[in-house]
């Protein structure tokens, strides 16, 4: 049950390709000033995800991760750039084609309590995608889905409020899998759950990825999880990707001062190492995306800039994202970071 | 539970009025005017010697038909408009809600009189008119509840599944805003009874000799100092019914919330 566009796509085309994606939000402003005040949540982001790949997107709150995810699953039209799924630009599809295309990419939400309709039984929630897409044998498919995510088929008759967060997130995952998608966009799938439950849900995601050959766009701020399951990691800061590369490169050879600071915040499960670990504490909050920053968008909080004695280029020229295919960094002094 | 019993009792009385009433509600007997309650006339008689109990029982039928059907009309149209405004926002929101504001700007009685004059007095017209007056209240509540529901992630989830706007509104929005609407409806029923009474009193609603709770109370006020029972008895019945519908609304709100279901 692969998406319709499958045959038409070039063989080597990535499953998902995001080109120069931009998402803006208008600010509430007086009538006369309307249009001028806006926030750029996602500012020209490009990357691609291949079949069977786990692509992680990390960054602190407010960096535009959720806006990016919503634009990719096309519930909010981007204000610029394009999303190509199986080589087909989603903006060119009509309503019916888009609906067909949606079978290929589905989303797992952050908060399982608000992403499941409290007035519907688990069975109805899971059958909604099947009914929308006129899939037959709804009942047996619902039971199959519940079993797939490790829940009992009898749960179909119950309501969401009867379940724990972890169980609900399993339902959310089952719903996303109902249409047999090739790509799952997981927006912080475990950050709303109890710490004790997180590992179970992550393990479920890993198992499903292997069994079903899925691709993930995993949005997270828990770097431990990302390190464990991602193939490619991108670090986002204020709407832009500042570093992207294979997991090994980003984690073990971080080239951007922001990435280095993020990594230094991850605890190491070894007492002596942990005690001697150097930590970089970033000063201040992530700047509001409404404020225009000239030069490098990270310069206001950059520890490296301070150490190098405030080079002028950091505040005047925005560093491009450049490097090799398996590791690109947006920093003027990435050579200094490595040392 | 009490609310349900009272509401069922009121509706039952309305349905079986012709069996329950001891006398003909329109039978005039000038020798029997202003009788106090007795075995033959448990509620006494009015200024034309008509049996008050029979009139109250038949009044239940008229009042409930008007109140329930008008609330149904008002709720249906109000919810359709309110959900549309809240869900689509922007221009449709502005257009619909400003229209509602215009309707609200007229005092309901004035609006009712104007409409009744155009349409002519009859029970079905009365239901339509009162329903029309209620539209803005339902539209406002439906709109504001829709705004809350629209921001929930399950609406976004439904959209990623490919569910259409109509599908989302019918399957997700309406079921989730039903609670406050049911409460509003239960509060609207007594209001409708009163509006019906006011219009009937002005000769634009239920025509005599057909009784309704509203015109019984209004007619009785003329004799409130000499024969207060003519106001008090229908008034008490009316109050009990109103209380019943309010309690019913509260109960329904609890039942409609799956979280309070055991």
Fold of B2-22+43-260: MetI-like fold (1.10.3720)
Rounded distance, CA B150 to CA A89, Å?
27
Domain residues of chain A, as ranges?
254-339
Inform me whether the pLDDT recorded for B129 exceeds 80: yes
Task: Quote the pLDDT of residue A6.
Answer: 47
CA distances from B154 to A22, A103, A175 (A): 24, 17, 11
Task: Quote the pLDDT of residue A33.
Answer: 55
Going by C-beta distance under 8 Å and a sequence separation of 6 or more, which residues neighbour residue B123? B62, B65, B66, B206
Domain residues of chain B, as ranges?
2-22+43-260
Rounded distance, CA B240 to CA A8, Å?
71
Going by C-beta distance under 8 Å and a sequence separation of 6 or more, which residues neighbour residue A106? A73, A129, A175, A176, A177, A178, A179, A181, A183, A184, A185, B160, B161
Q: A129: distance to nearest CA of chain B, Å?
A: 6
Are the beta carbons of A114 and B161 separated by less than 8 Å? no
Q: How many residues does chain B have?
A: 262
Q: A114: distance to nearest CA of chain B, Å?
A: 5
Q: Return the number of other C-beta atoms located less than 10 Å from residue B104's C-beta.
A: 16
Q: Which residues pair with A22 in a beta bridge?
A: A43, A80
pLDDT band of residue A35 (cuts 50, 70, 90) is low
Rounded distance, CA A291 to CA A40, Å?
9
Among A208-212, A295-299, B3-7, B208-212, the range with the most confident prediction by mean pLDDT is A208-212
Token match 């509104």: residue? Answer: B169
Q: Is A277 within 8 Å of A286 (Cβ atoms)?
A: no
Are the beta carbons of A115 and B157 separated by less than 8 Å? yes
Residues of A within an 8 Å Cβ radius of B: 70, 73-75, 98-99, 102-103, 106-107, 109-111, 114-120, 128-129, 132-133, 159, 161, 172, 175, 178-179
Q: A44: distance to nearest CA of chain B, Å?
A: 23
- Average pLDDT of chain A is 88
3-state helix vs strand vs coil in chain B, percent to 5 = 75, 0, 25
Q: How much is the average pLDDT of A306-316?
A: 88
A243: closest CA among A191, A176, A319, A135?
A: A319
Token match 């404020």: residue? Answer: A291
A226: closest CA among A64, A59, A19?
A: A59
Say what the pTM is: 0.83
Inform me whether the pLDDT recorded for A206 exceeds 70: yes
Are the beta carbons of A102 and B160 separated by less than 8 Å? yes
Of B153, B175, B261, the CB nearest to A111: B153
Q: Is A16 within 8 Å of A85 (Cβ atoms)?
A: yes
Of A115, A128, A161, the CB nearest to B153: A115
Rounded distance, CA B16 to CA A143, Å?
49
Q: B60: distance to nearest CA of chain A, Å?
A: 35
Q: Tens digit of pLDDT for each residue in B22-56?
A: 888 888 888 888 888 888 888 888 888 888 898 99
A193: closest CA among A111, A125, A264, A260?
A: A111
């Amino acid at each position: 049950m692969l998406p319709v566009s499958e045959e038409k796509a070039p063989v080597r085309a990535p499953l998902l390709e995001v080109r120069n994606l931009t998402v803006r939000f208008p600010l509430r402003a007086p009538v006369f000033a309307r249009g001028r005040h806006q926030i750029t949540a996602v500012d020209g982001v490009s990357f691609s995800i291949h079949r069977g790949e786990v692509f992680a997107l990390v960054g602190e709150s407010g960096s535009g991760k959720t806006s990016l995810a919503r634009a990719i699953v096309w519930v909010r039209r981007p204000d610029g750039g394009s999303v190509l799924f199986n080589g087909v630009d989603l903006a060119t599809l009509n309503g019916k084609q888009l609906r067909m295309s949606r079978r290929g990419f589905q989303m797992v939400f952050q908060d399982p309590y608000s992403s499941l309709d409290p007035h519907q039984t688990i069975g109805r929630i899971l059958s909604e995608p099947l009914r929308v897409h006129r899939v037959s044998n709804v009942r047996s498919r619902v039971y199959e889905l519940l079993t797939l995510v490790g829940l009992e088929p009898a749960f179909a008759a119950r309501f969401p409020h009867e379940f724990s967060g972890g169980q609900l997130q399993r339902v959310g995952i089952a719903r996303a899998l109902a249409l047999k998608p090739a790509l799952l966009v997981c927006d912080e799938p475990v950050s709303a759950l109890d710490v004790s439950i997180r590992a179970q849900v992550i393990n479920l995601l890993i198992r499903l990825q292997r069994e079903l050959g899925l691709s993930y766009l995993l949005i997270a701020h828990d770097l431990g999880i990302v390190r464990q399951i991602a193939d490619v990691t991108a670090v986002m800061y204020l709407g832009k990707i500042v570093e992207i590369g294979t997991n090994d490169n980003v984690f073990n050879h971080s080239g951007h001062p922001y990435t280095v600071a993020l990594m230094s915040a991850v605890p190491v499960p070894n007492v002596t190492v942990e005690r001697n670990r150097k930590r970089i504490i970033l000063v201040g909050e992530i700047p509001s995306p409404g404020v225009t920053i000239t030069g490098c968008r990270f310069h206001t909080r950059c520890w490296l800039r301070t150490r190098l004695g405030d080079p002028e280029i950091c505040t005047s020229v925005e560093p491009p994202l450049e490097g090799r295919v398996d590791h690109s960094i947006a920093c003027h002094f990435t050579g200094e970071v490595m040392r | 539970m009490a609310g349900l019993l009272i509401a069922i009792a009121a509706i039952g009385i309305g349905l079986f009025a012709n069996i329950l009433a001891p006398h003909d509600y329109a039978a005039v007997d000038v020798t029997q005017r202003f009788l106090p309650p007795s075995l033959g006339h448990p509620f006494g008689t009015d200024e034309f010697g008509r049996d008050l109990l029979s009139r109250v029982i038949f009044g239940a039928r008229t009042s409930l038909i008007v109140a329930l059907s008008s609330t149904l009309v008002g709720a249906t149209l109000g919810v359709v408009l309110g959900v549309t405004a809240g869900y689509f926002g922007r221009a449709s929101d502005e257009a619909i809600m400003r229209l509602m504001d215009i309707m609200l700007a007229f005092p309901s009685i004035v609006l009712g009189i104007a409409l009744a004059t155009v349409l002519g007095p009859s029970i079905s017209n009365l239901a339509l008119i009162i329903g029309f007056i209620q539209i803005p209240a339902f539209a406002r509540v439906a709109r504001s509840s829709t705004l809350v529901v629209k921001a929930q992630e399950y609406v976004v989830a439904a959209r990623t599944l490919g569910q259409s706007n109509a599908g989302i509104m019918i399957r997700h929005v309406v079921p989730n805003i039903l609670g406050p609407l049911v409460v509003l409806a239960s509060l609207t029923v007594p209001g409708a009874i009163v509006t019906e009474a006011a219009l009937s009193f002005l000769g634009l609603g239920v025509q005599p000799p057909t009784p309704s709770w509203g015109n019984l109370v209004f007619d009785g006020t003329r004799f409130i100092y000499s024969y207060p029972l003519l106001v008090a008895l229908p008034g008490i019945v009316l109050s009990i019914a109103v209380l019943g519908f309010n309690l019913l609304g509260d109960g329904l709100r609890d039942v409609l919330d799956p979280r309070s279901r055991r």
